[in-house]
Each structure stands twice: as structure tokens, then as C-alpha cells.
A and B are shown apart, each in its own frame.
Chain A
Amino acid sequence: MKNTLIKELKELFRDGRIRLAGGIVILLLGMAVWISSSQYHKIKQQNKISEAHERENWEDQGEKNPHSAAHYGTYAFKPQYPLGFLDKGIEKYAGTSVFMEAHKRNEAQFSPVIDQTGLARFGELSPDFILLFIIPLLIILMGYNSFTKERELGTVSLLKSQGVKSNNILFGKWLSLFLPIIAITLLLFLIAGILLSGLEGFGWGSLFLLLLVYWIYYAVFINITLLTSRLSKSSSIALVVMLSVWIVSCLVVPKATGNIADSKYPYPTRQQFTTSVLVDKEKGLDGHNPWSKEAKKLEQQTLAKYKVDSLAQLPFNYDAFRMQKGEEHEAKVYQKHYQKLRDQFAGQASTYRSLSILSPFLPARFLSMGISRTDYHSHWDFEDATENYRIITQKFLNDNFAKNSSYGDWGYKVDSSFWKDLPKFNYEHPSLNKVLEQQLFSLVILMGWLLISFLLLLTVKNKI
């Protein structure tokens, strides 16, 4: 086996085409890492400035009614997880800032793609592009003729007559494809690790898990490539078959799945979503509307609870109290509607999962984004965190309003030092365990791909 390995590696390194292709891949990877890391640092820097600025705006409100401040609201900026620079995932298509205001839950807005030219849709020269698309291609170019070339050169009978076990040849060839890929990716990840190690939230565990996912993904491609090479009549057939496999699994299946998922589980339009939220909101308490049925009901309940005759006799400002109650109702409405949206996506996700049988790219894609915290789940996690913060902020403001003023006192203003008492918005990315829990299925599917492709590779006989 060792001999086969060494012979194969020698052949690979002597092949000018492979050297050229390998060189180009490494060059592209270097470029991608450089571009990506400088972008990452730029965004991180920008976020830091914006956050500080926004907090300044908040603390500098001066004397003001707390509810005015609630309407003025505050912004949260989505921080990037260090690994996001390796796999940008959905970052380009997801909003980067959330406006948190009274009565209203806003989605993250301003996704980078809307500020880019139409070319943005062609893809991006980023590490994940190289890792997910180009390296499998390199594997194909390196391995498509592993077996066919032996037949074409007639060396296969020579090898057999030497009494080399065919499994040893197979493993030798397998390793000769895997080792160079391991070397390239290990180097990349080590560099990434060193670049990122100082950053907050970075964990080597996630980095190595990410690397492992890619190794499994590459192993699957090596298996399929060798399998094809074993089964093909000639090198050029093997090459064409493998390129088709690549196109189908990396381009066609993801897109087609997207379309199928979207037509089976469509999202509402923004206007439809807003309208249905509004309908549900109106069914309950509106903090600004003391005349509605719900408001009257709350009034009766509160008066009964505190055993007083009029709202003015309550020990707190009833306006603020009602507003807080309204806020709570609205939060529930939003919760319900966003949950619906997520259920819709859960349906889409199940489509992605079931069609993962057609493409090892899909589970690898989802795992990679998950571990890099740039997937949809991580995005939601951030949006949820902002919603929690919004709810806390509203309560903080309404409670102060209720406690320190009396009914009807809309002129009440808090001290300018009050704003500092609101805790800062602090977001922590989901833990690796949580990510793995979410991506368990993808992991299972990817492992399934690995095992089945291995089994097939071991059981098939060479053609001719």
C-alpha cells in the first residue's frame, strides 16, 4: 500500500496539469482568505464604532419621557462570529441591523446584497466557495483516471502479476488523493486559527470540527471519483461522468431544491406578513388606545385587583401600565407570526434534507454554515436576542414611567442619567453544542454519504 501511495503521489506531483490546477487552487484560496479576512476586520471595526455610537445616542437623550425614548428606540448590529470569515453562509442575504422600538418587532434589515451590483449573485471568491466548490473539482481532476489510466497504460495486469492486493492498491490511491487535500486544508485552517485565535468567541473546537466536516465531504468526493474511475471504460468517460456529478451536486441540486422547497413552503410577502400581524395585534390590547374593548377589560380588571374606583387612585401610572400590557400582547403576536415563518422554513429544511440524498454538497453546506454561525438558525438566534432585549427595554422604560408618574401625566420626563441604567445589548453566538443539535441531521446524512460511498467503492469490481 505504501508503495502504491508513493507511486501515486509521485505521478500526481509530476503531472503538470495537476501541479497547475493545485497551484491555482492554492492561489485562489490565498486570495480568498486575504479578501475575506480584511472584509471581516473591516465589518468588525465598523460594528464596534456603530455600536458605540448608537449607545452614545441612547445615553445622550437628555430629559425625556420614557415612552418617547421607547419610540426613539435603539439599534442592534449583528456581530460576526470569527469563523464567519471562512464560511460567509447567508450573511450576504441576511440583514445586519435590527431596529428595536416600541410596539413593533422589526426584522434585521439592510442585507449587504442590496447594496451590491447584480454581479453579486454570481457568487463570491471566498474561502467557502473554494472549499465547497473548487476543491472537489481538484479532487476530480486528480483522481478521475486513477484506475482508468492503469488500464490504458496496461499496467494493471503488471500490478496484478506482482501479487499486489487490489485493496492495497485502492487504499494507496485513496490516500494519495486524500493526503494532498488534507495538507492544503490543514494549512488553511491553521492559518485561519492563528489569525482568529485572538478574537473574542473563537474556539479551536469549532474550527477543527469545521475542518473535519470538510474532510468528510472530500472523502465522499474521493470515494465517488474512485468509484467512477473503477467503473468507467476510459479516462475521458470517467472525467465527463465526474464533472456531471460535480455540476449536479454542487449547482443543480441546491438550486432545484431551493425552488421546490420554496414552492412547497412559500414565505408570505412582507406586506402580507405585516398585515396579518396587524390583524392579530388589533384583536388584543393596543397600548395607545384606551377606548378599545380589550382596554376597557384591562381597566376593569386592574381596578378590581387594586380595589380602587378610579385609575387615578392606582399606585402607579395606569397609562404606562396599559402600555406595558399592550407591549406584552404585541410581543406574543410577533412571536406567533415569526414562529409561523420558522415553521415554514422547517418545511423547506425538510425538503433540503430529503434531497440531500442527491448531493453531498447540501449537508456539507449546512454543517459548514452552522459551525461558522452564519446559517439561518444563527441569524434567528440573533434576531431572538434582539427581541428579548427589546422586551426588556420596553419593560424597563414602562416600569419607570408607571412607577414615577401618575395617571395622565404624559409630560413626565426622566433624568438624563437614567438612560445609562439600561443594560447594554450583548450578544453571544450559539454554542457549538446547540449548533450540532440543530445540524444533527445534516451530520447523519453526510456520514451516510461517507459510509455508503465507501462500501460501494470497496464492493465494486474494476471494469475489464
Chain B
Amino acid sequence: MFTYNFKYELKLLLRSSWIQLLTLLLLLLFVFASYNGKQKVDKRTADITSAQTVVDTSDKETLSILLAIEKGEDLNLSPWVTPTSPINIGNQNPRVAAMPANEMAFMSVGQSDIYTHYVLPKVSGDDFALNLSEMASPIQLLFGSFDLAFVVVYLLPLIVIAFSYNVLSEERERGSLKLLASQPISIRKWVFQKIGIRMFWISIMVLLATTVAFLLNDIKSFDGYVLFFVTCVIYMLFWFGLTFAVNIQIGKSTQNAFVLLGFWIVFVLLIPSIINQVSDVLYPVPSRNQLINEMREHKSEAEKKQDQILDNFLRDHPEYAVNNDANSKSFWHSYMASQKIVKEELQPLLSEFDNNLAKRQKWVNKLQWLSPAILVQQDLNTRAGTSKADYENYRQQILNFSNEWRDYFMPLLYNNQVFTSEHFSKLPIFQYKSDKSIINGYRLWGVLLLTSIVLVIVIITYKLRTKKEYSIIQ
């Protein structure tokens, strides 16, 4: 039966133009999506490069000034630009702390449209004000991006559904089912083969579209290319499993379409949004406004006790008090001290905030198993390095770097040291390290598991049914 099904299915699909149409459609969608992804990645890379160029230029300038001063030249600079003051360097010569796009970033925009990909932490900046959100039109954020992940997660299931929602019902509606059913074959097996064959052809088409899409981005990672294709196939497998289940259970074509569309809405639209909203209710995060209120109070308190704070601070940090006589206390001394105090006071609040967010994320991670759409989206996002976890990782690294940066200058400031060209060469540097543990193959296994659950349910309901008859007769 298989060879005949295979041979004639191809003929039928070619003659009804399905293959031609789908190939064209898939190519269009994949190419447009990957082109969009490429544009985003290119812009991201260009932005980071130009920021780095600006920093490099200003570094050169600063270094030449430093060297000139060290040679004893008097450049007659204002006190707040002279690079011999460590705090000036800390504020005016920041490093670019960038999160460059990885080689798969074009696959999925993920959260990359919300967050910025480089910041320039300064000594005087406070972590609370560290704004990692990117300037973007919220309309664009609302609509989302037309990227490969969208094509795969949202559109591919619809294509699968449109392609095979009526494999069996079409036969009945055309009138050829009776003739078919009178042949010595199992109809279930026949439907299974037909759907399997369609799955095969659509996979070939997806492979073609994937190849073109990746060639457009000059296949930077062969593994990534293969994995993307495998992801598509596994995700399609789930949807083909569902169409198989629906095909052999339900009657008319339109009914099948209704039910499958219903599944699509549930898995792709409803489950994710409901999980998200329930997580809001179960793990409420204190509102940012509340956080602002608290932060403001602490700041206000700190300001009122400015001088006292500095004294206390120096008492707590005697290492900074070396060489420190009353006359050399500048604005920066007390500013940095109160900044640090406020930060320390706010720390529990901020970590509670972060903890709650982490708890919520954990809960959501557990429930992602309910929908293959979530699993695949997460899988693509993590491999593109654009998932929430990636940006959280980046944020943590920035916070650490920001501390490192500050800690580099604090002793210089409190010891009233002169910043030299030697110091300049030892400035801390930021290097983003992606966390490979975020990427995890288990999500794909999860999709496979869901697929087998669907098939097991089909088999069980079939076994349980006393009347093992298909509505061959209407």
C-alpha cells in the first residue's frame, strides 16, 4: 500500500498544485521573516560597533591628554573634565557593556526589541536608574515581529492544518471513500500513511525554505541550521499527530477545520496568555510604583543626613579614609557614599522583587509543558539568545560590571589619587558571556512527548470504543 500511496499522493498533490503553492508560500514566509531577522541583527551589530567607535575615539583623546599632563603640560582644563580626576574618567570614559548578537539571533526577535544591547555604566549612575529597556515604538512591540519564530510557531501549524485537515473527510465528501474502504486495507493505516507522506513532503519544502532563509544569513552555524529544521519537523509532527487524531475521529471537512482551528487557538493563543495571567495572580510582584515610593523615601532620608552618612561611611570603610583630610572632601565623596548607602538599603527590596520575578518564571517554566507552541518558542528564543533568561543574564552581568567599575574608582576617589595613564590601561573591561545552560534540548523532547500523548489518547479511545466503525456511510 505504501509505495502506491507514496507515488499517487505526490501525483495528486502536484496536480492539485498543493506542492507548488506550499513551496512558494513557505519560501515567501521564511525569506521575508529571515530578512527581517537579519535587518534587526545588522542594526544591533552596527549600533554596538558605532558605540564602541565613539568610546575608542574618546579613549584616545583622553589618553593623549593624560600623557600630556604627565609630561607636565598645563592644558588649562576645567576641573570636571580633567582626566586626572578618577571620578571624571569613571563618568566620562565609560566602557561599552554590550551583548552582541549570537549567530542564530536572526531566528527569533524574542525579547530583543524590548531590551537594549549595550549600556555604558558610569560611576555615578545608580543601579536603579540603569535603564535596560530599549527605545522602541510600543506599537511595534504590540504587534510583534514577523520573524522565523513567528512563522514556525504560529503559521506552520496553520499550514499543516490547511494541508491535511480533510485527508479522510475529503474522500467521503468526494464519494471515493466507499470504493477505498472496500479494498483490503485498514483505513486508519491508510490515513496514517497519507498524513505521513504529506508530513514528508512538507518537511522537504520546509528544508528548502530553511536552507534559503539560512543562506540569506550565510549559515553561520551549521548545527543551528540543522537544529532549526529539526525543531520545525518535531513541531509539525505534533500538529500532524493532531490532524491524524481529528481526521479519524470526526466527520466532515468543515468540522475538522473547526476542531483543528480550535486546537490552534488553545495551544498557540489561549494557553500561553492564560498561564501568563495566572502567574500574575499567583506570584504578584510588588508594583514598580511601590518600589519607586520606597526608593524615594530612602533617598530623601539619605539626603537629609548627607554629612552624617559620609562620616558613617568612612567609619565603616576605613580603607577609604586613608589620606583623607577634611579639606579634600568633595561633592563626590558624599555623593558616592550616600549612593552606596541607599543602594544597600534598597537591596533587600530589589532582591525581593527579583526573587518574585524568578519564582514566577519558575512556575511558568513548569507550565510551558502544556503547549508545544510555548516549548518551541522558548527553544528558538534561547537558541537565538533572545529569551527572557538571556536578558536577565545580561542584566546581572551588567550589574556586576557596574559594581566592578565603581569599585575600581572608589579607592582612587577616597584616597584622592591622581588618575594616570597607567590606571587607564587597567580599566575593567566588559565581556558578555552567554549562558549555554539556558539552551536546553528537553523542550524538543517535550514536544515529542506531547505528540505521543496525543497518539496514545487516539489509540486508547479507539480501543475503548465498542463500535469500531468510521462513518464511511453518512
The chain A residues found within 8 Å of chain B, CB to CB, are 17, 21, 28, 35, 39, 43, 46-47, 49-50, 53-54, 57, 60-62, 68, 72, 75, 77, 89-90, 92-97, 107, 109-111, 113-125, 129, 133-134, 137, 141, 144-145, 235-236, 239-240, 243-244, 247, 251-252, 254-259, 261-263, 266-273, 275, 289, 291, 341, 345, 348, 352, 376, 379
Contact = CB atoms under 8 A, between A and B. Distances in A.
Contacts of A256: 32, 146
Given A90-B139, A96-B288, A275-B54, A125 B273 contact: yes
B104 to A, nearest CB: 17
11 contacts: A50-B292, A93-B142, A111-B133, A117-B364, A119-B276, A122-B276, A123-B269, A256-B146, A258-B145, A348-B137, A379-B138
B439 interface: no
A106 to B, nearest CB: 9
A144 B364 CA distance: 37
A46 B287 contact: yes
Contact of A115 (B39, B116, B118, B285): B285
Given A113-B114, A271-B119, A72 B299 contact: yes
Contact of A267 (B137, B154, B273, B296): B137
B258 A345 contact: no
Interface in B23-39: 32, 36, 39
B21 to A, nearest CB: 12
Nearest to B42: A263
Nearest to B395: A114
Contacts of B54: 275
Contacts of A348: 137, 139-140
A270 B116 contact: yes
A54 B296 CA distance: 8
Contacts of B118: 269, 271
B289 A271 contact: no
Interface in B283-325: 285, 287-290, 292-293, 296-297, 299-300, 303-304
A460 to B, nearest CB: 22
A89 B374 CA distance: 23
A294 to B, nearest CB: 14
Contacts of A61: 300
B175 interface: no
A239 B116 contact: no
Contacts of A235: 253-254
Contacts of B377: 118, 122
A117 B140 contact: no
Contacts of B91: none
A352 B135 CA distance: 19
B296 A57 contact: yes
Contacts of B45: none
Size bin of chain B's contact surface: 35 or more
A258 B47 CA distance: 20
B204 interface: no
Contacts of B140: 258, 261-262, 348
Given A35-B277, A109-B133, A129-B273, 15 more contacts: A50-B292, A57-B293, A93-B141, A114-B133, A117-B360, A118-B388, A120-B276, A124-B276, A125-B273, A133-B269, A247-B155, A252-B146, A255-B146, A269-B117, A270-B131
Given A17-B255, A72-B303, A111-B133, A118 B155 contact: no
Given A113-B141, A258-B146, A267 B120 contact: no
Contacts of A109: 131, 133
B51, B142, B292, B388: residue with the most chain A Cβ atoms closer than 10 Å: B142
Nearest to A60: B300
Contact of A273 (B50, B135, B269, B299): B135
A50 B290 contact: yes
Interface of B: 32, 36, 39, 43, 47, 50-51, 54, 78, 110-111, 114-120, 131-146, 150, 154-155, 158, 162, 166, 173, 253-255, 257-258, 261, 265, 268-270, 272-277, 279-280, 285, 287-290, 292-293, 296-297, 299-300, 303-304, 357, 360-361, 364, 373-374, 377-378, 381, 387-388
Given A123-B272, A270-B134, A352-B139, A258 B144 contact: yes
A125 B141 CA distance: 17
Contacts of B134: 269-270
Given A115-B288, A268-B135, A240 B257 contact: yes
A124 B138 contact: no
Nearest to B162: A240
A72 B388 contact: no
Contact of A271 (B116, B138, B287, B292): B116
Contacts of B158: 243, 247
A247 to B, nearest CB: 6
B289 A50 contact: yes
Contact of A62 (B50, B136, B304, B374): B304
A269 B288 contact: no
Nearest to A47: B289
A49, A110, A291: residue with the most chain B Cβ atoms closer than 10 Å: A110
B154, B255, B277, B297: residue with the most chain A Cβ atoms closer than 10 Å: B277
A122 B372 CA distance: 13
Contacts of A137: 261, 265
A420 to B, nearest CB: 16
B258 A141 contact: yes
Contacts of A272: 47, 50-51
B272, B285, B374: residue with the most chain A Cβ atoms closer than 10 Å: B272
Contacts of B279: 117, 119
Contacts of A243: 158, 162, 257, 261
A268 B279 CA distance: 33
A145 B252 CA distance: 13
A119 B39 contact: no
A54 B293 contact: yes
Contacts of B269: 122-123, 133
A47 B135 CA distance: 24
Contact of A119 (B265, B272, B285): B272
A50 B289 CA distance: 6
A122 B54 CA distance: 37
Contacts of A251: 154-155
B95 to A, nearest CB: 13
A376 B139 contact: yes
B270 to A, nearest CB: 7
Contact of A145 (B47, B254, B297): B254
A32 B286 CA distance: 22
B145 A259 contact: yes
Contacts of A118: 110-111, 364, 377-378, 381, 387-388
B292 A97 contact: yes
B119, B304, B373: residue with the most chain A Cβ atoms closer than 10 Å: B304
A122 B266 CA distance: 12
A345 B276 contact: no
A275 B378 CA distance: 35
B440 to A, nearest CB: 14
A393 B133 CA distance: 27
A249 B58 CA distance: 49
Given A35-B277, A115-B288, A255 B364 contact: no
B80 to A, nearest CB: 8
